[in-house]
């Protein structure tokens, strides 16, 4: 098997991990652990592993305010996505999350000073049209998120775009510090949001995980780390635009698993809107955009790879 095929399979594995992660989070919820508490526990465990392997990463993060925005952006991404796919239709949440071309163009213009080209404007229009089709109510009204899950999908996608733009802006920072920033954000923002909702009586307090819940938490933490390493391996050996296209397979894994396991539905309307959203992302990749990378699986140097810089050499879409 050629190295390029192995690299592609590594990226597919990473996409599989994240595309199907909604189901284990739902299992944890059935055991009494709200997705926010589950996210905090899983990402907190990953942070402990990274810090044990790279002890200098945390002190560097603490004295580098530039990375704190990355903590918030990554944390909001993970908290919103994990919560949304647990309480809502997985297909709709994932599609709304992938409104990357829209948010990335706007944020890159604002934070990086990049021009809005005609091609970028076309991608924005295509993504907006797709979102409008997905959200258009059957009984009329404005095509806006009508449920908490849909709103979380949009918020998560915006935060995802902000995370990617900030990675480009602070590409000179050590990769292990960026990894800790993103995973720590996943734990801290979920815990803070959960605490706030607990204070106003909107969610139940966290429970001490039993043996079954603890096994799910440990298993997910291990899978996320393996997915991260697979991402590093694949992204460091393939062109950035190829990486971006392959990682869109996550939408396929999420949709297929949701349909098979009862986590979502696919109507002709949702399929048509989703096709437009995915087409916008494919056009961004074809145009040489930065790899669409999950901050939930940051391309960071847990194993000393330089994948995030190699896959992020080009400006965001």
According to the per-residue pLDDT averaged within each range, which of 159-163, 164-168, 267-271 is highest?
Answer: 267-271
pLDDT attached to residue 282? 83
Backbone torsions φ then ψ of 145, nearest 5 degrees: -55, 130
From 100, 117, 109, 224, select the one nearest 158 (Cα to Cα).
100
- Residue 99's pLDDT is 85
pLDDT, tens only, 196-211 = 999 999 999 998 889 9
Query: pTM value?
Result: 0.84
Give tens-digit pLDDT for 103-140: 878 887 887 777 878 888 888 888 889 989 998 887 76
Residue 287, pLDDT score: 60
- For 216, what's the count of Cα atoms within 13 Å in the CB-facing half-sphere? 21
How high does pLDDT run on average in the chain?
83
Residue 213, pLDDT > 50, answer yes
Residue 103, Ramachandran bin (φ over 0: left; ψ between -120 and 50: alpha; else beta): alpha
Instruction: Give Cα 84 distance to the centre of its chain.
Output: 12
Q: What's the pLDDT at 246?
A: 84
H-helix or E-strand spanning residue 308: helix 307-311
Who has greater pLDDT, 45 or 138?
A: 45
Q: How confident is the model at residue 100 (pLDDT cuts 50, 70, 90)?
A: confident
List the domain boundaries for the chain: 3-311
Q: Give the C-alpha separation, 224 to 232, whole Å.
A: 12
Residue 311, pLDDT > 90, answer no
Q: Which of the four pLDDT bands, split at 50, 70 and 90, describes residue 179?
A: confident
Which tokens is 270 given? Answer: 């949702």
Read off φ and ψ for residue 70, nearest 5 degrees.
Answer: -65, -35
Give the CA count within 13 Å in the CB-facing half-sphere of 135: 25
Q: What is the pLDDT of residues 248-298, one digit of tens each?
A: 888 999 999 999 999 998 889 999 999 998 898 888 766 644 433 444 444
CA angle 82, 76, 158 (to 5 degrees): 100
Q: 3-state class of 40 per DSSP?
A: helix
H or E stretch including 22? helix 22-30
Which pLDDT value is given to residue 266? 87
Task: Considering only residues 112 and 227, tell me which one the structure prediction assigns the higher pLDDT.
Answer: 227
- Residue 310, pLDDT > 70, answer no
**Tokens in use for 248?**
């869109």
């Amino acid at each position: 098997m050629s190295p390029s095929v192995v690299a592609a399979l590594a990226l597919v594995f990473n996409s599989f991990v994240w595309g199907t992660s909604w189901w284990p989070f739902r299992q944890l919820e059935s055991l009494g652990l709200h997705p926010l508490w589950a996210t905090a526990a899983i990402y907190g465990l990953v942070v402990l592993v990274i810090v044990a392997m790279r002890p200098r990463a945390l002190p560097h993060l603490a004295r580098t305010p530039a990375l704190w925005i990355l903590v918030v952006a990554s944390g909001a991404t993970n908290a919103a996505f994990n919560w949304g796919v647990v309480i809502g239709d997985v297909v709709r949440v994932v599609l709304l999350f992938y409104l990357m071309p829209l948010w990335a163009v706007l944020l890159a213009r604002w934070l990086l000073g990049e021009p809005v080209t005609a091609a970028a404007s076309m991608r924005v229009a295509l993504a907006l049209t797709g979102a409008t089709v997905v959200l258009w109510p059957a009984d009329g009204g404005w095509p806006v998120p009508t449920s908490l899950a849909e709103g979380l999908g949009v918020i998560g996608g915006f935060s995802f775009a902000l995370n990617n733009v900030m990675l480009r802006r602070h590409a000179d920072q050590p990769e292990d510090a960026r990894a800790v920033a993103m995973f720590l954000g996943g734990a801290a923002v979920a815990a803070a949001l959960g605490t706030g909702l607990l204070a106003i009586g909107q969610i139940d307090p966290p429970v001490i995980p039993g043996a079954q819940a603890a096994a799910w938490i440990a298993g997910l933490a291990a899978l996320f780390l393996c997915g991260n390493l697979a991402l590093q391996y694949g992204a460091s050996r393939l062109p950035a635009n190829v990486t971006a296209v392959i990682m869109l397979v996550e939408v396929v894994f999420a949709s297929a698993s949701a349909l098979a396991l009862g986590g979502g539905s696919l109507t002709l309307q949702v399929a048509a809107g989703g096709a437009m959203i995915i087409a916008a992302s494919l056009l961004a990749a074809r145009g040489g955009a930065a790899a669409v990378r999950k901050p939930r699986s940051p391309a960071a140097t847990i194993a000393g790879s330089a994948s995030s810089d190699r896959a992020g050499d080009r400006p965001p879409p």
